[in-house]
Structures are given as C-alpha cells and as structure tokens.
Structure 1
Amino acid sequence: MPATTPTWDPGQYLRHAEHRARPFAELLDRVPALPGDPARIADLGCGPGNVTVQLAARRPGAHITGYDNSPQMLARTDEYAGPTAGGGRLDFAHADLTDWTPTETYDLIVSNAALQWVPGHLDALPGWLDALAPGGTFAFQVPHNIDAPLHTLMRELAASARWKDRLTGVLRREDSVHAPLVYLDRLARLGCEVDVWETTYMQLLQGDDAVLDWSKGTGMRPVLTALADDPEAADAFTAEYRDLLRTAYPAAPYGTVLPFRRLFAVARKTA
C-alpha cells in the first residue's frame, strides 16, 4: 500500500487528455443496455470530470455522479456539473474509494484508470455489485503496465541508495493491478456475465521529454508529493528519472512512442 496519498495536478494530468480519454470511450462502447430509464450512474475516480461528460453524452437522460478523493481534481468539475441537454443531471462528490460504500442503487458503476490506486479493491467488488440493479453493469479499465520501463525505472531509482530513505513504500506495488483472469474469475463467481480484455496503445507523444511529462501527471505523483517540501530533491529525482526515460523511450522525428497496456472488464449482473 502506498505510504503517500498523491496530490494531483489537474493541469498536468490534462496535458495528455486525448490519450487518457480514449480507453474510457472504448470501455463505454462495450457497456450493454441499462435496466433503469432514466439510469443512475456512478463514475468512481472521476478526476477533473473531462471523461465523465462522455457518460452524459451517451446516456443523456441519466443522473450521473462522479466521485473522487482529490480536492484539486474536484475543483475542476464545476464547469461540467448541472442539468444535461437530455434532461439528466451531472454532479460530483468527494469519496475515497478505499472505503466507499454505495448508499443507493445504480444501473451502472464505472471506473476509468482509478482502481490501481485502491489497495484491496478486489475485496470491494461484492459490495459494489450489491449496489447494482438487476441487469446493471460494473465496468472499469486500469493500466496494466506496472512491469514497463515507465514504472520499473522509477521504482529502481526510488530504491537506490540516494532515495530509498525518502521514498521507500511510496510508489504503487507490482500487485496494484491483478492479472485479467483474476478479475474474470472473481466477477464470474459473483454471478456476473463477464467480458475481460487487454489493449496495448502505441501512444505517440509530442514535445521534449514527453514520457516524463506523461508520468508527471500520473505515476510520478506519489514521488512528487513525498518530495513536495524539498523542491531541490524533487528536481534532482526528476532529472535522474528523465535521463533513464530518454534511453528507454528514445525520441523520433515524429514524436516519442509510449507503449501502454490497459486492462478492461465489463461485468453485467444477471437480471
């Protein structure tokens, strides 16, 4: 379990908004018809709300609530909150997914790139599924690339002699996301019709040190949070990590390719 709760920077996170939003759109493509009309939907780990609005576009009559534990992210959701064009409503609320307990029934519970930050999230699945209406759906996607250089180099650097006293236990563990079969088995045993798959995106990033820029918005947040009181140390760690990434992900004339594997699951509760 991470020792540091990350402080999020919505502006940095949104610098690669298109790449971050695409998997959510592809997840929603596989969500079946919902039992409620209008539907009640929860978006777990909604971030700044920029992908939650995709739900409103696809389910214009639904009442959708985005939940997140970051005040910085929730502050950016104001521009999206309120009635939707289709007669529904979009609102946002603070919630920590490590102990979030549904207090109402939902037709869809969805999560985009958030469960990897929730230790023990497999144990939360029964309670979340209990909150689904018969015929409702639980759908999520998470990064499944903790073994990629993007993460292994950061963990190795954090464990090095220079940084281990400051950063031991800060980063996500290797088991923060489980194998696809683990999710399929758990959800099927809980009585769901399950579809699980993986996709590797060849993300073409632009700009100088583009992979570092990507990581500053997500994977590096625990490190940047832990070193926030020491800007000189934060800059030093960033420079060392940058040099490692330059070798692992060399820039080309057309940009820098960051292969990024994601895991998807759509589980429909039997009616």
Structure 2
Amino acid sequence: MTATGGAWHPGSYLRFAGERARPFVELVARVAAEAPRSVVDLGCGEGSLTASLAQRWPQARVTGVDSSPEMLAAASAAASERVAFELGDVADWAPREPVDVLVSNAVLHWVPGHPEVMGRWAAALPPGGWLAVQVPGNFRAPTHALLADLCCSPVWADRLADVAPSPDTVLEPTGYAEVLTGAGLAADVWEATYLHVLRGPDPVLAWVRSTVLRPVLARLDDDAGARFTDAYAAALRAAYPARPDGTTLLPFRRIFAVGNRPT
C-alpha cells in the first residue's frame, strides 16, 4: 500500500480479506502471459495475494513492493525461494530489468498523478509484457461523499478539508484505456460493482476504517477521532441501513485495466 496518514494495520485490512481478494483474482485472470520470468506486485500489502502469483506462474520470480513496514512485516510469512518482498514507494518505482507481468491492485488511487505513473509503467513493458491495474471506482458513493462532507463541514474543515476524498480521485474506464493505448498497449478495460453482504455492528464503518478513513483519523487525537467517527458512523447507518436479518449491503464499484504490448 502507498498512502499518507498513519500506519497500515494488516489485521484490520484483512477483516474483509475474502471480499478484497476477489477483484485481484479476477484482474489476474485476464492476464494471458503463459510463462513469465519476472512478475512484480506493486502495493503488495500483506503478501498473501502476491504469493498466489507464484502458484499461477510456477517459473516466475515474484517480487512484492510496498511502502508500509507493517505490511511488509506481515508479508515476510509469505516469502519463499521464488517470492521476495521489498520496501519501496510505487510512485517512484521503476523496473531495474524487464518485467513480464506488472500487477497493481487497489493501490494507484493513493498516488497523486497516478495516470502518469501508470503510463510510465506501461511504457517500460517489454514486447509481450503485461500490465494489470485495479482501482476502486466508488469515490462518488455515500461512503466517500459523506466522509468528504463531514471533513469539509464547519466543525472539521480547518483540520480535515485537505484530506477529504475527492470524487475525481480515479479516472473513468475510458481514461485508463487511453493511458494503455497511448503507451502502445492493447487494452482490456472493464468495471464491476460487487454487492458485499456485511455483518456485525457498523460494518460499513469497519470496512472503511482501514482504507479511506485512515488518513482522516491520523490527523486527530483520540477524543476528536472518536467524535468524528461517531458522526460518520451515524451517517453511514442512514445511508446503508441494516436489513431485517441483521446484514448490511455495500455496493462497491471497481475499475480494471489490463494492457499487453504486442510481440
């Protein structure tokens, strides 16, 4: 993960590991590389999905890159003879040697100017190389819009307005297609909305606590953070009401972009 504002907490992020893994699996499934030698996962997080790339391509050397020491500490359990992890910021990353498959899952939305970063990665691909990217496309959903409204409200604006999530954080699918084709790649771009069935008290708050809420709370002390969280939780309960069976539905849009440089 590459982001600003406080340490990443692998345990909190992994609470919804199954839901977060599915887009990764569906992204990588569209990569038709047969026997890549070098595979890199940029923003690898705690490493379990990175390790699965070594199973997908048994001849490949797989490298996971992440800027979070906490995530890399957790990822060390997934290291093996063919899977290694290293500290690095994906915004500045550049390949030291040709990379056959480059994956970045749910990371680029944290990187300012990420279309240019993605374009650099695409331009560096060798003939036959693949780039696969997934970003959340829900920055206009209530989870993010309510958070932005609260950050910019009179009570909180002086401390939080500059970390309010922007509705224009990511491109629309056509924008990512333009990035890939502009770098000379054949593009496969699509979107999907997952309808997650969440359980427990304030489950939508629990979902966002380890992602979009994290840099906001990093700005506040414990007392202010508790007041902010209470107000945000109430707004989320109204936007995502619990159903009679106690579950809560969370629609989550994601955007996928896969490019291949023709041989």
Q: TM-score, normalised by structure 1?
A: 0.92
8 Å CA contact 2:100–2:126 kept in 1: the answer is yes
Q: Give the residue type in structure 2 aligned to 1:157.
A: L
Paired position in structure 1 for 2:226: 235
Q: How does 1:10-89 map to 2 (within 5 A)?
A: 10-34=10-34, 36=36, 39-83=37-81, 89=82
Q: Deviations over 1:14-42 (max 9, x none)?
A: 00000000000011111112463xx2011
Report percent identity of matched pairs: 48
Q: Say if 2:131 is the partner of 1:133.
A: no
Residues 155 and 171, structure 1, Cα contact 8 Å, conserved in 2: yes
Q: Is the 8 A contact 1:7 1:222 kept in 2?
A: no
SS at the partner of 2:59?
Answer: coil
Q: Is 1:166 aligned with 2:159?
A: yes
How many residue pairs end up in the alignment?
261
**How much has 1:95 moved relative to structure 2?**
1.0
Q: Distance in 1 between matches of 2:101 and 2:6?
A: 27
2:209 matches 1:216: yes
Are 1:116 and 1:176, in contact at CA under 8 Å, matched by a contact in 2? yes
List structure 1 segments (4+ residues) > 3 angstroms apart after TM superposition: 3-6
Asked if the contact 1:48/1:77 (under 8 Å) is kept, the reply is: yes
- Give the Cα separation in 1 of the matches to 2:34 and 2:91: 26
Matches of 2:196 and 2:106, distance apart in 1: 16
1:41·1:106 contact (CA, 8 Å) conserved in 2?
yes
Counterpart amino acid of residue 166 in structure 2: R
User: Which residue pairs with 1:269 in the alignment?
Assistant: 261
Select which of 245, 250, 262 maps to 1:258: 250
In structure 2, give the amino acid aligned to 1:123. Answer: E
Q: Structure 1 stretch 185-194 or stretch 140-149: which is displaced more?
A: 185-194
CA distance in 1, matches of 2:23, 2:39: 18
2:175 is equivalent to residue 182 of structure 1: yes
SS of residue paired to 1:92: strand
SS in 2 for 1:218: coil
| Aligned residue in 2 for 1:100 | 93
Q: How far apart are the structure 2 equivalents of 1:35 and 1:210? A: 41
Shift of the alpha carbon at 1:130?
3.5
Preserved CA contact (<8 Å) 2:33 2:101: no
1:65 partner SS = strand
Code of the residue aligned with 2:57 in structure 1: it is R
Moved more, 136-145 or 47-56: 47-56
* More off after superposition, 171-180 vs 243-252: 171-180
Structure-2 change in CA distance of 1:35 and 1:80 (3 Å): closer
Matches of 1:59 and 1:198 in 2, distance apart? Answer: 25
Shift of 1:57: 1.9
SS of the residue corresponding to residue 178 of structure 1 reads coil
**1:4 shift after superposition:** 4.3
CA distance in 2, matches of 1:140, 1:34: 19
1:141 maps to a residue whose letter is Q
Match of 1:225 in 2: 218
- 8 Å Cα contact 2:144/2:165 also seen in 1: no
CA distance in 2, matches of 1:183, 1:155: 25
Letter in 2 for 1:131: A
Tell me the alpha carbon deviations over residues 35-78 of structure 1, each in whole angstroms, 9 at most, x when there is no partner: 63xx2011011111121122122112211111111111111001
3-state SS, counterpart of residue 46 of structure 2 = coil
The reply to whether residue 8 of structure 1 matches residue 1 of structure 2 is: no
Gaps of 5+ in 1: 84-88
Question: For the structure 1 residues 151 and 193, does the alpha-carbon distance in structure 2 shift closer, same or farther, using more than 3 Å as the test?
Answer: same
Structure 1 residue 174: Cα displacement:
2.2
1:135 alignment partner, SS class: coil
